[in-house]
Amino acid sequence: MSSGNDLQSEARSKPTFSEEQASALVESVFGLKVSKVQPLPSYDDQNFHVYVTKTKDGPTEYVLKISNTETSKNPDLIEVQNHIVMFLKAAGFPTASVCRTKGDNTTSLVSVDSGSEIKSYLVRLLTYLPGRPIAEIPISPQLLYEIGKLAANLDKTLEKFHHPKLSSLHRENFIWNLKNVPLLEKYLYALGQNRNREIVEQVIHLFKEEVMSKLSHFRE
């Protein structure tokens, strides 16, 4: 069982930019005049809700995304993600828009001296997409139907997406990939000893017994 070193490693790679630094990044890299910055929830990256001074015909709210140091070593991954967003936007999906830097790129690699070492972070800017998370609104059969319909349309549309660096999305040992469910065993300690842990252990066991041997037959 893992002692938690993996989580500590992830914490070390997560960006820790202040609101002032985030504001300066937006202005220096993307050329926008910032009026306010607020932190947004994130897992191992760092996100900020950015408000800018009104420009002619331009949006006034954005999301600044700062990738962790490990992801920042794989710019192809972020490039493909950006192109997927642009592809879906062009197909009519309600997605954010990818903003370009002053150098006409979709990302910028920023180096920061932390005192003991110099760390590099990939930054990008997306337009802010207003809305409420599903968890915050009453669920109805009609809403679930609409979510399923949107997911199906998304899936069908992405079958037409092509990019020379698409393989960068296939990361080994990526815990958010459902086929890597067994990797979650090393995080079981975080649940303590309770009923929830028993349920999770049972699901992982069943996945190993019933799913792993059939993975190659499933559509991915």
Same structural domain, 75 and 165: yes
| Domain shared by 133 and 185, yes or no | no
Residue 150 lies in a domain: no
In a domain, 65, yes or no: yes
Q: Are residues 129 and 189 in the same domain?
A: no
User: 163 and 193 share a domain?
Assistant: no
Residue 1 DSSP symbol: -
SS percent in the chain: helix, strand, coil, step 5: 45, 15, 35
> Is 83 a member of any domain?
yes
Cβ proximity of 38 and 19 under 8 Å = yes
204 and 165 co-located in one domain: no
Amino acid at 141: P
153 lies in some domain = no
Question: Could you tell me the pLDDT band of residue 4, with boundaries at 50, 70 and 90?
Answer: very low
Residue 6 pLDDT class (50, 70, 90 cuts): low
- Is residue 181 within 8 A of residue 204, CB to CB? The reply is yes
Q: Which helix (H) or strand (E) holds 66?
A: strand 61-66
Q: Are 39 and 71 within one domain?
A: yes
- pLDDT digit string, tens, across residues 18-58: 999 999 999 999 999 999 999 999 988 999 999 998 777 77
The CATH number assigned to the domain holding 95 equals 3.30.200.20
pLDDT at 173 over 90: no
pLDDT interval class at 171 (50, 70, 90): confident
Shared domain check, 103 and 79: yes
Do 12 and 96 fall into the same domain?
yes
* Residue showing tokens 């180096």: 111
Domain count, the chain: 2
Residues 116 and 186 in one domain: no
* Whether residue 188 sits in one domain with residue 131: no
Furthest C-alpha separation in the chain: 59
- Whether 146 is in a domain gets the answer no
- What residue numbers bound the domain in which 196 lies? 181-215
Strands laid side by side in the 61-66 sheet: 34-40, 46-52, 61-66, 118-127, 108-113
Q: Looking at the structure, do residues 202 and 133 belong to the same domain, yes or no?
A: no
How many whole angstroms separate alpha carbon 61 and alpha carbon 131? 13
Kindly tell me if the per-residue pLDDT of 10 is higher than 60: no
Same domain, 122 and 200: no
Is residue 22, in this structure, part of any structural domain at all?
Answer: yes
Say if residue 2's pLDDT is above 70. no
Summarised one tens digit per residue, pLDDT across range 91-115 is: 999 999 999 999 999 999 999 887 7
Tell me what the mean pLDDT of segment 200-211 comes to: 95
